[in-house]
Every structure is written in structure tokens, then in C-alpha cells.
Amino acid sequence: MNCSTIQMPSLINQNPAALDHLVINTHYEIDAAQTLLESLGFTITPRGYHTLGSVNHLVVLAGGYLELIGQPRDSDKVRQEILDSPVGIDGLVYAVEDVQACHDDWIAMGLKAQPVQHFSRPVDVDGAAVDARFSTVRLLPGQFAAGRVYACRHLTPELVWRPEWMVHPNGVTGIAGMVVVDKDPVQAAADYGRMGRWGTDFALEFADAGSLPERFGELAAHAPQRDAFFAAIRFRGGDRSFISTRARTLGFPVLEDSDRLALALPASGVLLEFADWTFG
């Protein structure tokens, strides 16, 4: 971490927090996003079709996963919240065991939460369709300026964390953290800190937009031009030479130094980092 960024305070809230997943919103361009991540050496799950109307693909990793989400062009059911949110990194999702209790806790904290929602999507298991089922509670948009914040309980985790989906040709093993940009990173760190204290496997890091060039160099020019946004996903591990070669072949801007690789996905304003991160 450099001097321009702020780690989440460790003593604001002693309740533990766990990552369920991060979301990249693609709007109608999920085909292109799927191809892009596959080209970078990620194993991508088959397309999922939510009962809510959205479609998705996952990059499944130990612990939390990365979700590509989009809206099919030919669907009569429109999930408007996807289209109302910006393209790019657009979701921080907490893993919880009891979504109703999470809802009630958030309300008690003075936050505005939507009612608990239950939905599913079919997963092919040995030629048979089996429903992967989820329960979520979502905060009303705008309470965290960088993006959507919600919590999820997996009722059928065995249909998501499948061994054949968790081995990636690029060698990435997990999601280590996310960089959150806010015009007041100290206050943002305190606001997110109320939601829980992260352990040693995942961390949020806070910065203002003006500090991004110090960390990302010319890649920062491809980040969203807003006061607050989810700026970068940090992956643990990975064959950086392999990923760099693939990224350069695809024409993506790349920044390399002795212990990390960063690249930009200009079409979506997403920055990705690969390194052997440790926390705690």
C-alpha cells in the first residue's frame, strides 16, 4: 500500500465481514466481457439465467468470486437496476448466514434496506437442470456512492463452488481486495467500516481519484470519471507473465513492476491487479 491510500480501520466494528462476491456490470455486453476474461486465462462458468431477468457468468475462486452480470437484449423481463447502474465494477456483496437478521441489523444502523429477496437460476449438473438458490438483501442505491452494496446467502453453495470451475489457466487463486475511490476516503473508510471488520483474506482500500495515477500510472486515465467508484479488483496469485502477454496481445494497457501486474479494461473502466497479497 502506498501513502495515498487508506486501509479500512480495524477497530470501528468488531463484527466480522466476509466476501461473497464482487460484481462487474456489463449492461448488454456480457458476451464481450465473457470473451475478454476467458482470453486473460480465467475459467468462466456457463451462462446463468436468473429468475429476475438478468444473466451472469462467474469466475469462481476460493472464498469470494467475481460475477459478470448483464441484461439480455432479447428478454421480455428487464432487470432495471442493472441498467440503472454504471458499467464496470458495481457490486460489493457480503456473505451472510441469515439475510433477514442482516436486513434488521442494517435498518437498526439507520441504513435503508430493501425487503429480503429470493431467486434462483438453473445449473446443469450431469445433464440435468438443478436450481441454484439464493437469498439477498440490498441497500437502496445511493447510500454508498461508489456502487451497489448488498448481502447474499447461498442456499446451494455446492452448485457454485464446483471444482471444475475453480482452476484457472492463469493461476489466479483468489480475490484479495478492492480499491474504493471517494472524494473523502477517510469518511468512506469509516462508513464501510460500520458494515463489519474484514479478516486477512480480503481488504478494502480507499483513495481519492487524484491519487490513482501515483499507483496506476497511465492506467488511471481509464478509470471512471466520477467522485466515487469501485476502482480496482486485486487478485491473489496468478502467472503474471502469462497474464501480461495475453493482455498486451489483446491491446490492453499494462503496468508491471517487480511484485505486481496491473492492467486496464478501457471499455468498462475496470482496473485489475495481480500480486501475492498478504494482510493482517
Task: Return the CATH number at 204.
Answer: 3.10.180.10
**Domain enclosing residue 259, as ranges:** 172-275
Instruction: Specify whether 158 is located in the same domain as 48.
Output: yes
Instruction: Specify whether 137 is located in the same domain as 39.
Output: yes
Final residue belonging to a domain, choices 165, 182, 200: 165
Q: Give the separation between CA 263 and CA 248, rounded to whole angstroms.
A: 9
What amino acid is encoded at 203 in this protein? A
Instruction: Look at residue 6 and tell me if it is in a domain.
Output: no
pLDDT the model gives residue 79: 87
Sign of the four-CA dihedral 265, 31, 158, 75? positive
Strand partners, 233: 178, 272
Instruction: Specify whether 211 is located in the same domain as 233.
Output: yes
Instruction: Look at residue 139 and tell me if it is in a domain.
Output: yes
Instruction: Specify whether 200 is located in the same domain as 120.
Output: no
Q: Cα 144 to chain center, whole Å?
A: 15
Q: Which three cell numbers stand for residue 26?
A: 456489463
Instruction: Look at residue 211 and tell me if it is in a domain.
Output: yes
Instruction: Specify whether 250 is located in the same domain as 160.
Output: no
Whether pTM > 0.75 for this model: the answer is: yes
Instruction: Look at residue 2 and tell me if it is in a domain.
Output: no
Instruction: Specify whether 138 is located in the same domain as 177.
Output: no
Instruction: Specify whether 138 is located in the same domain as 206.
Output: no
Instruction: Look at residue 84 and tell me if it is in a domain.
Output: yes
Instruction: Specify whether 81 is located in the same domain as 193.
Output: no
Instruction: Look at residue 11 and tell me if it is in a domain.
Output: no
Instruction: Look at residue 131 and tell me if it is in a domain.
Output: yes
The count of other CB atoms within 10 Å of the CB of residue 251 is: 8
Instruction: Specify whether 100 is located in the same domain as 195.
Output: no
Instruction: Specify whether 217 is located in the same domain as 130.
Output: no
Instruction: Specify whether 161 is located in the same domain as 25.
Output: yes
pLDDT the model gives residue 216: 96
Instruction: Look at residue 178 and tell me if it is in a domain.
Output: yes
Strand partners, 230: 180
Q: Give the separation between CA 94 and CA 96, rounded to whole angstroms.
A: 6
pLDDT the model gives residue 178: 97
Q: What does the pLDDT profile of the chain (280 residues) look like in tens digits?
A: 333 444 444 333 457 899 999 999 999 999 999 999 999 999 999 998 888 888 999 999 998 999 999 999 888 888 888 999 999 999 999 999 999 999 999 999 999 999 999 988 889 888 889 999 999 999 999 999 999 999 999 999 999 999 999 999 999 999 999 999 999 999 999 999 999 989 888 999 999 999 999 999 999 999 999 999 999 999 999 999 999 999 999 999 999 998 899 999 999 999 999 997 654 4
Number of domains, the chain: 2
pLDDT the model gives residue 124: 87
Instruction: Specify whether 87 is located in the same domain as 111.
Output: yes
pLDDT the model gives residue 277: 61
pLDDT the model gives residue 11: 34
Final residue belonging to a domain, choices 117, 141, 165: 165
pLDDT the model gives residue 276: 79
Final residue belonging to a domain, choices 165, 197, 215: 165
DSSP annotation of 27: T
